Amino acid sequence: MDIQKIDRYRWRIEIDRNKGMRVPGIVYSDDTLIKDVINDQSLTQVANAATLPGIVHASLAMPDIHFGYGLPIGGVIATRITDGVVTPGGVGFDINCGVRLLTSRLELNSIRNKIPDLIAGLYHAIPCGVGSSGKLNLSPRELKRVLQIGSRWAVEQGLGLNEECERTEEMGSFDDADPDLVSTKALDRGKNQLGTLGSGNHFVEIQEIDQIYDQRTAEAFGLFKGQMTVMIHSGSRGLGHQVCTDFLAVMGKATRTHGITIPDRQLACAPVTSREGQDYIRAMHCAANFAWANRQIMAHWARETFMRVLNIPPRDLAMITLYDVAHNIVKIENCVVQGKNIKLAVHRKGATRAFPPGHPEVTPEFRPQGQPVIIPGDMGTHSYVLVGTTRALEETFGSTCHGAGRVLSRSAAIKKARGRSIRKELEKIGVSVMAKGHETLAEEMPEAYKDIDRVIDVVHNCGLSLKVARMKPIGVIKG
């Protein structure tokens, strides 16, 4: 796939590089990161997405781009409601995989000797691992209530604070979610998984803020150097995976029924306004609501763990959600395209919403600064708090990166880790780890990912989101 450099951080796939492209491809990267992109098939996926009916502006890719199912991970596309399509391949299987950051009043140094106890406490309190079951066993009726109202369900059960819903994208709930569109199999997979972490790149991490880049915004967000924070990275578990699986079959038929030509069956799709398209959006929003409730519950259990281990009251801990953002989602949003305000189906797959100051969908508390953007590292690497910008709204439908992005497949990472103790390597750099097994740590070792500091520099220097603070990992639990 030929790609041309536009400027220091932007690369272009011309509209004539792939048959049927309706818009160009734009990749945000630098001279170093682009080398890894060229070596996989993700640029072909960028070009393939550019053929989808109703796509506007460009098929976009963030600097953490890597090969995925249908759309590359790190991909962003937007399609018109009137004549465009929606595709599950533009969201992926882990619907609303996302991140929640908890802040506190504590300085990390004041609790450093308690880190092993805290990690053990979190590992005991939050079930993790492949197919793990949680402490909540919901009736079908109660599970459907979760799918309808998301984070609010957890708060109603005493598993969180009202203000945390306000600090969550979409207030932690899509109002159009329709549980009757979620299959019995999906419900069965999800009934015991609420409040569970899962496996893969999901984690709960104790962190310390080691850099402040924007003092004024950091203060507005309640961040300070040396502060102890907790990050939760998880999604919709088996329920979301099954929703995607179910609707890929539906979309395969819909693509043929509606006479849509696609270059890759993984981009199976349907018109946004069609029955199939609307059913997928509403079912997918159910899975998104499940994920928000899931992270809300784990946040509450993390807070309880800290109070118990440190023997301090809620007031002294003051642990609360700064923000919770989705990474894999389709949303109907108002966007400006060629000077016109238009509603679009914005697909973000491995990308984070990054709305600017004054945007009506940013919680009023943070509207003067812009939306907090939470970007996770993985175990031995930094994580970041950024803030959304007007440029992102103009160039990328209000989107930025979502993490570092893989450079090694899971099997390649396991092979590279053979004969090594990733746990001991992490302990040597000051990171305490508890995980289900050696293979999980090998799959997710820092070398399996791109340099997150470089990825963040790209989006910062492009103006897609601006650096506010950086956190270093202190302790982590993984599935």
Show which residues are catalytic. Answer: 402
**Inter-CA distances, 364 with 136, 170, 342, 357, 367, Å:** 33, 13, 23, 10, 5
Contact assessment for residue 86 and residue 272, using Cβ atoms and an 8 Å cutoff: yes
Looking at this protein, which amino acid is placed at residue 282?
R
How far apart CA 205 and CA 432 sit, in angstroms, is: 10
| Burial degree of 94 (CB within 10 A; 0-12, 13-18, 19+) | buried
State phi, psi for 130 to the nearest 5 degrees. Answer: -60, 130
Token pair for 395? 């160039």
CA dihedral 262, 264, 270, 271 (to 10 degrees): -40
Contact assessment for residue 400 and residue 354, using Cβ atoms and an 8 Å cutoff: yes
Return the axis-axis angle of helices 140-149 and 275-310, rounded to nearest 10°: 100
How far apart CA 318 and CA 307 sit, in angstroms, is: 10
